[in-house]
């Protein structure tokens, strides 16, 4: 059968047109729009590798290292390149500390994946053994692991980082952006086995993290940790906390919580131990709030330090509630109400002034507001507005019931008395110069309260065990029942002491809280005051603060009568 000639010409025309289109397309792709082919080619041999940024160090105020990043390796695999026999699989699993079945599962879970971590943060010497196996599809990537030289002594301040070297708790979390820096990247050429054969270019240079210098003094921190740990063991307490402030600058020189944890062991972290109780937990301050009641009364001129108050017969009934003193005292001056820690006396002072006057001093002293320490999760506490106070609540607030505070808040509030009526802002970062304070009460009122707080530590007061040989000390004890189911538990207490020294020119403010002491003693004067004394004495010597009571000999203390305060 003879085919028409035009059909042959048609087929030839189609073929020539197709070849022309292919030639044109090839010319376009290779000569004009060549990005497409380059991209496809580079995807087969080119890789963009991230370069980790070195995390900044955390140091104390004396430049002692508190957090250091050390280089480690991450072992990863490309499942599409893996072809391991059982012997190689077993050897690799052994070096990585992984069950062979688990390793096999990771490699075969999704065959289309080109990246899967096998082990993170492997020490360099162990990673070198993995490299020596020479297994195809197994690679290493440089990482950094955080190391904390002080361990649990600094745990609640520093916090820790996760497996990706990002802050998870404490200052590591609060200053994540400052410490972390920004990772870089570089473009490389790899062969079919994934080995780098050429470094093409640096795409982005990593920006290293910046160092962070804290206000913490490691020596004072360790002293506070040691004394608190010893006290908790002696009193069989549930927990405890210590805050040490520089009275001049508001810097936190020590912040300790127990129980603690080891931040170098991230595998056994317990949220109950992780939290910074001194910043996040609230408690009723008890009698440590009485100086603020007295300050409010003195500030408006309603009372003077020598104004007499009848506290006999040691009880006071308001509605259906009765306020008790542990010991009947009779007629007491305002100064003696603070010295003897009379609940009845404090309640009568509070009821003798406008509610707004007391609330103003308390709220301006920082209660009911976060201390703005810059720490994650810091609590604001609870202080209700005066319009909601019933008479009994007004009275009990005078001695620290019906209000909740954190230990940092309480320590900061006492800078009101050390700073001649000005409240100091607090900081966990070292300051170059003292910040201005916020006026709350007059310098005269602050000095009068300071004299009253010295009487608390002197013979006849409730805090004889807070004395520090060679120094004049001022402070206030506190003992409060704990709330349980909306009611006060009869045998669960929080013991506290807040004080400062030298009283003539205060340098340090120290707050101590002991949660649920259960070895027989629970008064703040017996449980918390000795801890204050030990830490304060050590800290003043470390800082080289001159004694303001030379030739002082420690005075004997009547423990049973002198160290009890009202609950």
**Residues annotated as catalytic (active site), given as ranges:** 287
Judging by DSSP bridges, how do beta strands 58-59 and 212-213 pair with one another? parallel
For residue 185, report the phi and psi dihedrals to the nearest 5 degrees.
Answer: -155, 155
Q: Give the list of residues 6+ apart from residue 247 with CB closer than 8 angstroms, or none.
A: 415, 418, 419, 424, 500, 506, 507, 508, 509
Q: How far apart are CA 373 and CA 510, in angstroms?
A: 16
| Separation between Cα atoms, residue 295 and residue 311, nearest integer Å | 19
Residues forming a β-bridge with 487: 484
Q: Residue 272, Cβ neighbours under 10 Å: how many?
A: 9
Q: How far apart are CA 477 and CA 285, in angstroms?
A: 9
Torsion angle of alpha carbons 53, 58, 63, 65, nearest 10°?
A: -90
Task: Copy the structure tokens of residue 399.
Answer: 């001695």
3-class secondary-structure state, position 139: strand
Using DSSP, state whether 97 is helix, strand or coil.
coil
Q: What is the 3-state secondary structure (H, E, C) of 417-452?
A: HHCCCEECCCECECCCCCCCCEECCCHHHHHHHHHH
Strands of 61-174 (E only): list them: 65-77, 116-122, 138-147
Q: Is the C-alpha dihedral spanning 113, 118, 122, 127 positive or negative?
A: negative
Cite the DSSP H helix spans in 259-371.
271-274, 277-280, 290-299, 334-340, 343-351, 355-364
């Amino acid at each position: 059968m003879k085919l028409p000639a035009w059909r042959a010409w048609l087929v030839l025309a189609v073929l020539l047109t197709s070849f022309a289109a292919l030639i044109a397309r090839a010319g376009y792709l290779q000569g004009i729009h060549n990005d497409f082919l380059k991209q496809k080619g580079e995807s087969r041999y080119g890789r963009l590798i991230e370069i980790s940024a070195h995390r900044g160090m955390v140091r104390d105020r004396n430049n002692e290292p508190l957090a250091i990043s050390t280089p480690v390796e991450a072992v990863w695999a490309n499942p599409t390149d893996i072809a391991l026999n059982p012997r190689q699989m077993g050897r690799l699993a052994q070096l990585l500390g992984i069950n062979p079945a688990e390793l096999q599962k990771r490699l075969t879970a999704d065959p289309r994946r080109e990246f899967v971590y096998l082990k993170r943060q492997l020490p360099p010497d162990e990673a070198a053994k993995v490299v020596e196996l020479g297994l195809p599809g197994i690679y290493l990537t440089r990482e950094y692991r955080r190391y904390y030289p002080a361990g649990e002594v600094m745990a609640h301040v520093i916090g820790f980082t996760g497996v990706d070297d990002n802050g998870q708790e404490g200052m590591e979390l609060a200053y994540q952006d400052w410490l972390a820096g920004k990772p870089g990247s570089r473009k490389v050429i790899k062969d079919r086995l994934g080995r780098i054969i050429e470094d093409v270019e640096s795409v982005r240079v990593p920006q290293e993290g910046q160092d962070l210098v804290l206000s913490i003094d490691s020596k004072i921190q360790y002293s506070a940790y040691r004394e608190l740990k010893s006290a908790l063991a002696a009193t069989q307490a549930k927990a405890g906390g210590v805050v040490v402030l520089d009275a001049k600058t508001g810097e936190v020189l020590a912040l300790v919580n127990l129980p603690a944890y080891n931040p170098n062991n991230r595998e056994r972290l317990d949220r109950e131990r992780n939290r910074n109780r001194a910043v996040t937990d609230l408690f009723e301050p008890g009698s440590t709030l009485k100086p603020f009641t007295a300050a409010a009364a003195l500030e408006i001129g309603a009372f003077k330090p020598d104004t007499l108050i009848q506290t006999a017969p040691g009880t006071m009934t308001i509605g259906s509630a009765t306020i008790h003193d542990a010991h009947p005292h009779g007629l007491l001056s305002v100064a003696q109400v603070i010295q003897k820690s009379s609940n009845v006396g404090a309640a009568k002072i509070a009821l003798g002034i406008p509610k707004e006057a007391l609330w103003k001093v308390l709220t301006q002293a920082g209660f009911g507001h976060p201390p703005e320490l810059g720490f994650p999760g810091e609590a604001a506490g609870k202080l209700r507005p005066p319009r909601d106070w019933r008479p009994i609540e007004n009275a009990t607030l005078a001695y620290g019931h019906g209000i909740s505070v954190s230990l940092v808040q309480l320590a900061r509030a006492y800078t009101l008395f050390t700073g001649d009526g000005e409240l100091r802002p607090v900081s966990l970062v070292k300051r170059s110069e003292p910040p201005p304070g916020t006026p709350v009460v007059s310098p005269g009122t602050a000095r009068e309260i300071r004299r009253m707080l010295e009487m608390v530590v002197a013979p006849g007061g409730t805090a004889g065990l807070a004395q520090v040989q060679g120094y004049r000390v001022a402070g206030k004890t506190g003992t409060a029942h704990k709330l349980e189911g909306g009611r006060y538990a009869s045998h669960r207490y929080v013991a506290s002491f807040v004080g400062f020294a030298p009283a003539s020119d205060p340098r340090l403010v120290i707050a101590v809280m002991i949660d649920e002491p259960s070895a027989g003693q629970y008064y703040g004067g017996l449980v918390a005051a000795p801890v204050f004394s030990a830490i304060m004495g050590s800290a003043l010597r470390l800082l080289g603060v001159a004694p303001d009571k030379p030739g002082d000999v420690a005075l004997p203390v009547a423990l049973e009568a002198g160290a009890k305060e009202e609950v």
